[in-house]
Structure formats: C-alpha cells, structure tokens
Amino acid sequence: MKKKRIAAQLYTVREFCKTPEDIAKSMRKIKEIGFEAVQVSGLGPIDTAELKRILDGEGLECCATHESGKAIVEETGKVIEKLHALDCAYTAYPYPHVPLKSYDDCLRLAKDLERAGKEMSKEGLVLCYHNHAIEFEKFDGRTALDIIYGESDSKCLQGEIDTYWVQFGGEDPVQWCKRLDGRLPLLHLKEYGIVDNKVTMVELGNGNLDWKRIVKAAKKSGTEWFIIEQDSCRIDPFESLKIGLEYLVEEVR
C-alpha cells in the first residue's frame, strides 16, 4: 500500500499526548516513523489552532478526528468549526453516548446522527460511525449496527469500520467492507489475535485477520484512509504503529 493512504490513530499513543509539549514530541515521532497523516483522538487539552500549528510543522495531515458523541449530536456547530480549523473533512462518532437497549434506541440514534451529518455535509464535511462490539447485539432480529446504517441516509452518515470489533462481535470485517460499498471513507485497522488462549489486540500482521482481503474489499468500497489503531499495546505504542505501517507497505497490496 502507499503510505499516503495510511494514517496513525493518535488514541494509540494517548498516554504520550497529555500536554501540548507531549503532543509536539509525539507528532515528531509519528512523522519519523513514516506516517504522513493522523486521526486526532485521545489528546489532552490543547487549543485547536496550536494543534494545527504542530501538525503543519511536522508535515502531518489531519485525515479525521473523533469527537464526543454528545458534541456531535448536540453541538454540531462547534464540531464543524473544529474540523474547518484543522482543515479536516472527516470526523467519526466514537461510541454510543446514549443507551442502546432496544430497536427504538438504535433508530433514535440513527436519526440523530443523520441530522448532524446533514448539517456537516452542508459544510463539505463527512460524519462517519465508528463501531465497537456493542453494536452487534440484536433487536428484533437486526444488529444495532445494521439498524444505524440501514435507517440513516448514506449521504449523511458514512462508515468507519473497526476490524477488530467487527471480528470480536462475531461478524466478518471483509463482508462489512463490502456491505458499505461507497459508504466507507475510513477504516480502522486493528489486529485480532489470540495470546495465552485469550482474544488480544496485537500488532498488525501478527494476528488472525486476513488483511489482504480486508484491504482489497475496502479499496473497492472507496476507502480513502486506512487508519492503524490499537486500544492497548503489548509493546511500546510507537513501535506498534511502526510495525503496522511497515507491514501494510511491505506485505499488503
């Protein structure tokens, strides 16, 4: 794969991004590893303008962000302002900020996100949905994720599939990439492995997911950014990102 299509999810190195000084140092490391873009998430307090200056100084593009679910739904205008300030077209709803305990709960969230996404689209921005395993609980025979995508306008709500959590939820990342054809600008590449007989997040290429098939399906569905993320790392998080980048560039076409 070409490096220009691969980004680092900063949530992976959040423990090293608690202050503006830490963030600047971490962005330098990210650039030295070989990344040209990042997804902003999990950072400590920092003014958006200062963050933009740091990214520009290191030659890093902000390909996407994660904003709080509540802010996306209830303060959409503020999210729009931040994205414009970062010169960033994409943000993703990161985790349900309301209970998903019924079909109606899922439908309500789908419509709230559709409204927020419609407001963003008027500004040339794109709202995506980032899944975990919680969205694979079924209500009236449909998973929450199926309801959220199925009951919202694809022009207003796009996808940011997380491969690990799709697998953890008992479904196939390849099929979800295919299912969101034309609706999947962002993809979270997170490895699913088994260590000591337990499901574990491991470095990309060191687990059980079929990355060649996943990437091929995502490319066909129009994925623009392949974002490497690890919620927890067995090794130094920067080394984990480096391993993932090298694996994608060298092994996955």
Average pLDDT over residues 5-25: 98
Round to whole Å and give the CA distance between 164 and 160.
Answer: 12
pLDDT at 242 over 90: yes
Query: What is residue 2's predicted lDDT score, i.e. its pLDDT?
Result: 80
Q: Which fold has domain 3-251?
A: TIM Barrel (3.20.20)
> Which residues does 243 contact at the CB level (< 8 Å), separation at least 6?
203, 204, 205, 206
Q: Is 8 helix (H, G, I), strand (E, B) or coil?
A: strand
Round to whole Å and give the CA distance between 55 and 253.
Answer: 28
pLDDT at 200 over 80: yes
What single string gives the DSSP state of each residue in 168-230? HTTS-HHHHHHHTTTS-SEEEE-EEEEETTEEEEE-TTSSS--HHHHHHHHHHTT--EEEE--
- Answer whether 0.85 is exceeded by the pTM: yes
Round to whole Å and give the CA distance between 89 and 93.
Answer: 14
Domain spans, the chain: 3-251
Average pLDDT over residues 76-99: 98
Phi, psi of 192 (to 5 degrees): -110, 115
Q: How confident is the model at residue 94 (pLDDT cuts 50, 70, 90)?
A: very high
pLDDT at 4 over 90: no
Average pLDDT over residues 207-232: 97
Q: Which run of H or of E encompasses 72?
A: helix 69-74
